[in-house]
Amino acid sequence: MGSVFVAGTDTDAGKTVVAAALVAALGAGYWKPVQSGLRGAPGGDTAVVARLTGHRPGDFPRPAYEFQAALAPDQAAAEEGLTIDPARIALPEGLLVVEGAGGLLVPLDATTLMIDLAARLGLPVVLAARTGLGTINHTLLSLEALRRRGLPVAGIVFSGPDHPLNLAAIARLGGAPILGRIPWLDPLTPAALAAAAARLDLSPIGGR
Ligand SMILES: Nc1ncnc2c1ncn2[C@@H]1O[C@H](COP(=O)(O)OP(=O)(O)OP(=O)(O)O)[C@@H](O)[C@H]1O
Ligand SMILES: [Mg+2]
């Protein structure tokens, strides 16, 4: 079992919820290399994952880049007069669930995309996908982009209410293992998430 990169089919696709489930199920740490949007969400995704998994944010490595604006990373950096240097983003030690930002083709700088960072980190990709309308297109496009670049796809984790027809279509057309689904959890508590995490099939990434 090794570290994984959680990519999303889009922003708000459920990457953080899926990452927290993997942290709980694998007993792994968590790392968000590029965090935007701190202005509206202090602590960012690292604080959310810590809350959902019974950790303190300080248990996890800090993001390499943190920005205030809720914009694509290159734009959030520019708002602060900065640029991201993807070559300086180095994977910390340890067993980690690494969360991307936005979808796979989001820019980090003028020429580098999030998918290029995933490739450079060299981790198998877990794709976090919605269950509802639009997910077939977003998920199949994301898988196509990953394959075109030769990135290993460990599997797909859905987040949201069950939608058997969408999940069946993606299972049929996606050619990637379905690791399971985190149901819509309201309230989203550590206990509810841990129970959902325990029902994922993580054998393709070396878990249970
Ligand atoms: N299974 C779920 N149950 C309850 N709430 C969920 C679930 N999946 C996602 N959400 C909620 O939907 C929103 C978006 O999910 P999440 O933050 O995981 O997306 P993301 O892909 O990490 O977004 P970002 O691009 O900002 O990192 C959050 O408010 C999250 O709590
Ligand atoms: Mg997130």
**DSSP state at residue 126:** E
Considering the entire predicted model, what is its pTM?
A: 0.98
Distance CA 71, CA 125 (A): 23
Query: Does the structure show a pLDDT above 70 at 208?
Result: no
Count of structural domains within the chain: 1
Report the CATH number at residue 113.
3.40.50.300
Q: Which of 96, 101, 91, 150 is nearest to 121 (CA)?
A: 91
The set of residues, in sequence order, having a beta carbon less than 8 Å from that of 156 and lying 6+ positions away, is 126, 127, 128, 129, 139, 170, 174, 176, 177, 178, 179
What mean pLDDT value characterizes the chain? 97
Please say if the pLDDT value at position 151 is more than 80: yes
For ligand 1, mutation pick of 12, 105, 167 (most atoms within 8 Å of CB): 12
Q: What is the DSSP string of 77-109?
A: HHHTT----GGG--PPSSSEEEEEEEETT-BSS
Residue pLDDT, tens place only, 43-86: 999 999 999 999 999 999 999 999 999 999 999 999 999 999 99
The CA 18 to ligand 1 mean position distance, Å, reads 8
Q: Tell me the C-alpha distance between 128 and 103, whole Å.
A: 10
Under 8 Å between Cβ of 146 and 173: no
Catalytic (active site) residue 15: no
Residue 57 sits in which domain range?
4-205
